[in-house]
């Protein structure tokens, strides 16, 4: 049997967005660019369409999806009992890479929330996503457009590689500007807790919440340490093994890098190195992918670099550990999970 053809990749013209909105109304799946990573979008009010997302990704049905909205004024259609801190965060950071977990409004399909009483919502900061959301006229459920547990796509070509034959259309919005998934903040349980670190830091969140003087700030607490008795919501991005390449991956301190490379090299292992430091010309047969010095540029390139490293078919990917500073927290999070899940293929 021949492989089904991949969905067409089209630029975000008005005609393409109108066609995409019609496909979404018909219950089909459309890949859309966002500023963080590409999303696999379906009509969030249509349980059958949402079911197709889970089938395409191979994602367990109890993992909730983020509902994407065109503007914060649609929030009350999806959430209830919205605390002032959530309104303040939405006003400060939307459109932008921030997802709010809130109590869900009546009528939000259980397929979207994974059967939980909460819903994740965000307004993405990508002109094509916003134009599509406006053309569609409702909420779009959209996880990252990768197969479950794999590296999130940051270009339209990555989406086609991951899921092309499962989609109706792929909207090309260019490479994603942020490059890693949104910061997820849970405001559904009377406190503020970062469930997934992202480009918007806990300190930035705390500044806005403090200014709103709304509720006690626990946003600076590390993930999973809110001290509450209510069960923590399920976050698939919080699984230890996630965002993983097929090649085994290890993080190495910069000071240990040269010695580690020499050791593996002596065992005739084929290596790919992702490092801030310049390559060592003494080491033939090592593929060296230079990484940017700033956290934002590093995040933008991280997933494309991991894909490129994986595609080289080496025995091992070595990554020089980035600086141990707050700006790098989300990157450490993704690298740690990639290392845990790596080498499975």
Element housing 80 (H / E): strand 79-80
Rounded CA-CA distance 171/136 in Å is: 14
Residue 196 in 3-state DSSP?
A: strand
Q: Give whichever of 144 and 188 is closer to Mg ion, judged by the CB atom.
A: 144
309 binds, among ligand TXA, Mg ion, none (CB under 5 to 8 A by kind): none
CB of 69 to Mg ion, least distance (A): 19
| Closest distance of CB 106 from Mg ion, Å | 27
86, interface contact from Mg ion, ligand TXA, none, CB < 5-8 Å by kind: none
- Residue 49, SS3? helix
Q: How far is the CB of 268 from ligand TXA (least distance, A)?
A: 38
- Based on CB atoms, which residue is closest to ligand TXA, 114 or 322? 114
Nearest CB to ligand TXA, comparing residues 106 and 278:
106
The beta-carbon contacts of 230-236 under 8 Å, at least 24 apart in sequence, are 230/189, 232/195, 233/64, 233/101, 233/116, 233/118, 233/186, 233/188, 233/195, 234/62, 234/63, 234/64, 234/114, 234/116, 235/184, 235/195, 235/196, 236/59, 236/60, 236/63, 236/148
Binding positions for Mg ion, rule: CB under 5 A: 144
Task: Give the nearer residue to ligand TXA in terms of CB position, either 36 or 264.
Answer: 36
Q: How far is the CB of 218 from ligand TXA (least distance, A)?
A: 16
Q: Report the chain's C-alpha Rg in angstroms.
A: 20
Indicate which of Mg ion, ligand TXA, none lies near residue 335 (CB less than 5 to 8 Å, by partner kind).
none
Instruction: Report how far residue 231's alpha carbon sits from residue 326's, in angstroms, rounded to the nearest whole number.
Output: 27
Cα–Cα distance, 158 to 181 (Å, whole number): 15
Residue 120, phi then psi, degrees to nearest 5: -95, 130
Round to whole Å and give the CA distance between 305 and 331: 13
CB of 161 to Mg ion, least distance (A): 15
Q: Between 59 and 264, whose beta carbon lies closer to ligand TXA?
A: 59
Per partner kind, with CB cut-offs from 5 to 8 A, the member of ligand TXA, Mg ion, none near residue 167 is none
Q: Of ligand TXA, Mg ion, none, which one does residue 235 interact with (CB within 5 to 8 Å by kind)? A: ligand TXA
| Partner that binds at residue 191, options ligand TXA, Mg ion, none, CB closer than 5 to 8 Å by kind | none
Q: Least distance from C-beta 303 to ligand TXA, angstroms?
A: 12
Binding partner at 39 among Mg ion, ligand TXA, none, C-beta below 5 to 8 Å by kind: ligand TXA
Closest contact distance (angstroms) between CB of 304 and Mg ion is 16
Cβ nearer to ligand TXA, comparing 34 with 247 = 34
7 versus 286: smaller Cβ distance to ligand TXA: 7
- 287 forms beta bridges with 272
What b/e sequence results for 9-35 when a residue is b if at least 16 CB atoms lie within 10 Å of its CB, and e otherwise?
bbebeeebbebbbebbeebbbbbbbbb
Q: Which residues bind ligand TXA (CB under 6 A)?
A: 34, 36-37, 39, 63-66, 97, 99, 101, 113, 116, 118-120, 124, 142-144, 181-182, 184, 233-237
Between the alpha carbon of residue 300 and those of residues 220, 290, 325, the distances in Å are: 24, 13, 18
Give the nearer residue to Mg ion in terms of CB position, either 104 or 334.
334
Q: Which residues pair with 120 in a beta bridge?
A: 66, 101
């Amino acid at each position: 049997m021949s492989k089904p053809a991949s969905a067409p990749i089209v630029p975000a013209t008005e005609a393409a967005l109108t066609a995409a909105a019609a496909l979404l109304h018909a219950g089909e799946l459309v890949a859309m660019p966002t500023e963080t990573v590409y999303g696999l979008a379906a009509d969030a009010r249509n349980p059958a369409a949402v079911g197709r997302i889970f089938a395409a990704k191979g994602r367990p049905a109890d993992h909730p999806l983020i509902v994407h909205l065109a503007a914060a004024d649609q929030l009350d259609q999806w959430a209830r009992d919205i605390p002032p801190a959530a309104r303040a965060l939405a006003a400060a950071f939307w459109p932008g890479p921030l997802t709010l977990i809130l109590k869900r409004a009546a009528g939000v399909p259980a397929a979207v929330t994974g059967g939980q009483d909460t819903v994740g919502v965000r307004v993405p900061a990508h002109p094509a996503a916003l134009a599509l959301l406006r053309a569609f006229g409702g909420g779009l459920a959209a996880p990252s457009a990768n197969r479950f547990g794999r590296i999130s796509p940051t270009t339209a070509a990555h989406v086609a590689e991951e899921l092309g034959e499962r989609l109706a259309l792929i909207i090309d919005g260019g490479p994603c500007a942020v490059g890693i998934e949104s910061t997820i903040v849970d405001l559904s349980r009377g406190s503020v807790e970062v469930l997934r670190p992202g480009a918007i830091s806990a300190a930035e969140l705390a500044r806005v919440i403090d200014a709103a003087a709304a509720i006690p700030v626990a946003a600076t607490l590390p993930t999973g340490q809110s001290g509450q008795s209510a069960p923590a919501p399920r976050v698939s991005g919080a699984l230890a093994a996630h965002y993983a390449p097929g090649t085994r991956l290890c993080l190495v301190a910069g000071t240990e890098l040269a010695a580690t490379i020499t050791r593996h090299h002596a065992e005739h292992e084929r290596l790919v190195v992702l490092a801030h430091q310049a390559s060592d010309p003494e080491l033939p047969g090592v593929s060296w992918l230079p990484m940017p010095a700033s956290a934002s540029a590093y995040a933008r390139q991280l997933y494309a670099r991991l894909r490129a490293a994986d595609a080289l078919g080496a025995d091992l990917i070595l990554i020089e550990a980035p600086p141990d500073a707050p700006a790098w927290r989300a990157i450490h999070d993704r690298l740690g999970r990639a290392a845990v899940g790596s080498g499975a293929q």
